[in-house]
Structure 1
Amino acid sequence: MQSADQSTKLRTVQFDRNRLSIEDIVDIAHGRANAALSADPEFRAAIARGADFLDRLLREDGTIYGVTTGYGDSCTVTVPADLVAELPHHLYTYHGCGLGEYLSPAQTRAVMAARLASLSKGFSGVSVELLEQISRLLEAGLLPLIPSEGSVGASGDLTPLSYLAAVLCGEREVWRDGVQVPAAQALREAGITPLRLRPKEGLAIMNGTAVMTALACMAYDRADYLVKLTTRITAMASVTLDGNAHHFDEVLFSVKPHPGMQGVAAWLRHDLPAGQAERNGKRLQDRYSIRCAPHVIGVLADAMPFFRQSIENELNSANDNPIIDGDNERVLHGGHFYGGHIAFAMDGMKNAVANLADLLDRQMALMVDSRYNHGLPANLSGMEGPRAAINHGLKALQISASAWTAEALKLTMPASVFSRSTECHNQDKVSMGTIAARDCLRVLELTEQVVAALLITVRQGVWLRTRVNQDLQLSPALTQMMEALAGDVAPVQEDRRLEPDLRLMLERIRQQEWKLYA
């Protein structure tokens, strides 16, 4: 977390009924922004109306799902009046059965921000105090330990969000400065009083899509950067292979009007000098992994606006059940906890991202093969003279990249088609949105590993190409990229362990340190 001095310099994301962006959530997740609940009296009054309406219904002995009844298939069970106050605490208690790795601190901050965003819409019947409690935890850096597995994505992310509900009440464990601490101790030491949930508040916290939506925001940010970075790598691969810039001609792409694909082609024109197409003796048509790169990368580029719309609409929705209309004093029973839009977006994104890994894997196969790399050494080894016989360049790196690609491709089976009937057939059609989001993040991780390998490869390949073609002039963009890579990765001459270079490249990728294209 940021120090107090640093935090005062961060931008503030205000939570009220206004629309938030993916970037708002990602910035909070990565500590680049603070979350602040709006102090506007009208906003707070709107939140209070829903909670006050539920209080009146309860006093009048109204039947309210999840308030005076059991949950899910148990909605036919009437809860005695003297036990209503205990019901929300039982909800998060019996849902404490998650497994798998814990969400990272950044992912957890994103989850908390996504849940705060939904509850701030004012249709969940929660108190202002609950919203303030989430905001306090974020400000104090007290992050619930949330197991990543156990949600079917309808009735929302019940099990993982139970860990947020419990921590708000001083139960279970939190991350504090990277260390696991009992929540009761952490709240006490931060001067935060544990919450006692009001009748619907356990349901409101848990019965929604915050986990899948938060992970989708994180996935979108990473995929958006990979569109640009894969394009830059393709330009450098084209130089390595002595390729043809005319494959990305503006008129050529004007006749196939996919705007994302056209944008990728324009970036490649920006990166590749026009003279690259002019020398005699070149192969007339480069192989598909170069020539058709805009068509492959462009699928993801063209899908990104749709993914943004789906993710941001979910982020800015009231997505629990029932919906509480405090203004008109109605309780509306529905299924807004269903995460189908996120599931579809994540299934689609992981497919398009895995295709980037496959594209780069094919480019690498051409670059390391002396039969196809147009005059460069086998495996792009930089060693010359007698010692060339015992040096193998990037041979093993290509094997690893192929393994990561295969694993990414294996994970592209859509999660959303594997709906299961659960909870006594009440939840008989579920979204699997959280599983889709986790799969997408894993595909992104594997693809970033392939990208790391390709960054080393094209750094080596362009270096070798300039050694062979000494009159080659790189564009300013590629010159700048080569200088940046050269500062991190030395040419591979004598064989060396490349894992440290790969890990450094991964860090650069995930920090998005290279500024690519306007």
Structure 2
Amino acid sequence: MQLNDLNQPARTVRFDRERLALEDVVAIARGAAQPVLSDDPAFRAAIARGADFLDRLLREDGTIYGVTTGYGDSCTVPVPLSLVAELPHHLYTYHGCGLGAFLTPAQTRAVMAARLASLSKGFSGVSVGLLEQIVRLFDAGLLPLIPSEGSVGASGDLTPLSYLAAVLCGEREVLRDGVQVPAAQALREAGIEPLRLRPKEGLAIMNGTAVMTGLACLAWDRADYLARLTTRITALASFALDGNDHHFDETLFSVKPHAGMQGVAAWLRQDLEYGGQLERNGKRLQDRYSIRCAPHVIGVLADALPFFRTAIENELNSANDNPIIDAEGERVLHGGHFYGGHIAFAMDGMKNAVANLADLLDRQMALLVDARYNAGLPANLSGMEGERAAISHGLKALQISASAWTAEALKLTMPASVFSRSTECHNQDKVSMGTIAARDCLRVLELTEQVAAALLITVRQGAWLRCRVDPARTLPAPLARMLELLGDDVTPVTEDRRLDPDLHRLLARIRDQAWSLYA
């Protein structure tokens, strides 16, 4: 998926009660799509029925959690009808205690899309006007400044989502065209009337899993691309190391039926143009594990991604606040759908599988730069020849940096979900930690992308040197095309030079998913 001009999205994503795919959220996050609220009368009537039902209960003096009672452990505290209208505004006010870095613009759009999706299911008791207000923020390019820290993942993402609720009402701050602006000023200049929340609307916005779910959609998209990129890098590493392509033989992989792993092996056969020949030609009989077992490592993530997708998309397409408003059956159902356990498990699992990609690439790089293991290539893959070779150190420092990024990624694989804390007077006594897991996963992805950028430099250098050392060798066509696509982003290293500009260019390409990798 390519980034599009934020002012000219390629398509729209309709929000109603139909199922969304995580790609819809990713497209909105990247600015490639714009959300629109369905104008179908049946959909809008279904949303209105929930709000109307709550209004009728209020007129009949019904007891409704979070409407005529306090929140959380304060559910036993009755709220006088004269103060019901103020209660939602108190909810986002006292949750204004988030810290940490603000979510990025892409992450914020993903969060807003995830919350809009949940509220559009029609079981939250909100008005159509609230949904329209979220869409207005998108249309005006106004992004709430949301601190990333402060959620335990149940009762949902209360503190970070309070910043969305406040902005809808003209409070706190937004990011507009990259500049921080007071929300009241930004709404006024956009011609948007601040919202006055109806009963339960504050709770409906905040008491859900939108932050962890929005971040999980972005994480899945990046992990899927990294699995493909790591496979392509592995093929280039195998070529540079003069490896054995028969390690990826179709018959060999047919006897271990993990579909994702088999798919990775098929990609490697395609990249290396393996034709089933088992000739050794004097090569080492078995390549080291980081090459030979690459499909088994990458395949774990490839096989897990469909499960992760199901968990993330089910959460995305759920009504996940409390209480659930059953307008058709005229019931208020108290439950725990704000609990983010499925997202927590998916993110904890994903960061483990992704960190293993970093470790795999780091091991491949260690082989490539070491003259004892790289099948005749220069030490540190230095491209310098002649007298100046003595002062040229090639990729020595890059390997150190890649090792540091790998170590940090591996360190972050401790599962967040096992660190549940009892909070809020022991009302929230078992919590998911899903948002922390999602943030950790995104950091592991970032570090692994940095390792991948380092390996792109390394395998480009290694393939160039292999062709120089063995002039009879030719790159398989798919790998030759990849090196052409890398173009000026990665040129061979002869005289020592700083490599961080190359790394930044490559990281931008990775995050833009600039290269089409496999069908």
**Cα deviations by residue, 1:440-462 (Å, 9 ceiling, x for unpaired):** 00000000000000000000000
* 1:54 CA drift (Å): 0.1
Q: Secondary structure at the match of 1:6?
A: coil
* 1:486 CA drift (Å): 3.4
Aligned pairs, how many? 516
Q: Which amino acid aligns with 1:22?
A: L
Q: Secondary structure at the match of 2:101?
A: strand
**Match of residue 484 from structure 1:** 485
Kindly report which structure 2 residues correspond to 1:41-190, keeping only aligned pairs within 5 A, or say none: 41-190=41-190
**Contact 1:174–1:186 (8 Å) recurs in 2:** yes
**Contact 1:343–1:436 (8 Å) recurs in 2:** yes
Q: Secondary structure at the match of 1:354?
A: helix
Q: Secondary structure at the match of 2:452?
A: helix
**Contact 1:108–1:143 (8 Å) recurs in 2:** yes
**Cα deviations by residue, 1:92-151 (Å, 9 ceiling, x for unpaired):** 000000000000011000100000000000000000000000010011110000000000
Percent identical across equivalent pairs?
Answer: 84
**Cα deviations by residue, 1:249-304 (Å, 9 ceiling, x for unpaired):** 00000000000000000000000133796351100000000000000000000000
**Cα deviations by residue, 1:396-421 (Å, 9 ceiling, x for unpaired):** 00000000000000000000000000
Query: How far apart are the structure 1 equivalents of 2:448 and 2:46?
Result: 45
Kindly report which structure 2 residues correspond to 1:459-478, keeping only aligned pairs within 5 A, or say none: 459-478=460-479
**Cα deviations by residue, 1:44-72 (Å, 9 ceiling, x for unpaired):** 00000000000000010000000000000
Pair 1:32 & 2:32 matched: yes
**Contact 1:243–1:277 (8 Å) recurs in 2:** no
Query: How far apart are the structure 2 equivalents of 1:416 and 1:455?
Result: 34
Query: How far apart are the structure 1 equivalents of 2:330 and 2:460?
Result: 64
Kindly report which structure 2 residues correspond to 1:238-317, keeping only aligned pairs within 5 A, or say none: 238-274=238-274, 278=279, 280-317=281-318
Query: How far apart are the structure 1 equivalents of 2:139 and 2:110?
Result: 13
**Contact 2:235–2:272 (8 Å) recurs in 1:** yes
Pair 1:16 & 2:16 matched: yes
Pair 1:359 & 2:360 matched: yes
Q: Which amino acid aligns with 1:156?
A: G
Query: How far apart are the structure 2 equivalents of 1:264 and 1:57?
Result: 57
**Contact 2:5–2:31 (8 Å) recurs in 1:** no
**Contact 2:6–2:31 (8 Å) recurs in 1:** no
Change (3 A) 1:265 1:17: same
**Contact 2:248–2:266 (8 Å) recurs in 1:** yes
Change (3 A) 1:359 1:479: same
Q: Secondary structure at the match of 2:233?
A: helix
Q: Which amino acid aligns with 2:52?
A: D
Q: Secondary structure at the match of 1:487?
A: helix
What TM-score do you get using the length of structure 1 for normalisation?
0.98
**Contact 1:155–1:207 (8 Å) recurs in 2:** yes
- For structure 1, which segment, 62-71 or 273-282, has the greater mean C-alpha deviation from structure 2 after superposition? 273-282
* 1:200 CA drift (Å): 0.4
Query: How far apart are the structure 2 equivalents of 1:316 and 1:273?
Result: 42
* 1:487 CA drift (Å): 2.5
What TM-score do you get using the length of structure 2 for normalisation?
0.98
**Contact 1:73–1:423 (8 Å) recurs in 2:** yes
Kindly report which structure 2 residues correspond to 1:196-207, keeping only aligned pairs within 5 A, or say none: 196-207=196-207
Query: How far apart are the structure 2 equivalents of 1:246 and 1:19?
Result: 43
**Contact 1:92–1:162 (8 Å) recurs in 2:** yes
Task: Give the root-mean-square deviation of aligned CA atoms.
Answer: 1.1
**Cα deviations by residue, 1:192-217 (Å, 9 ceiling, x for unpaired):** 00000001000000000000000000
Q: Which amino acid aligns with 2:8?
A: Q
Query: How far apart are the structure 2 equivalents of 1:310 and 1:465?
Result: 44
**Match of residue 517 from structure 1:** 518
* 1:5 CA drift (Å): 6.5
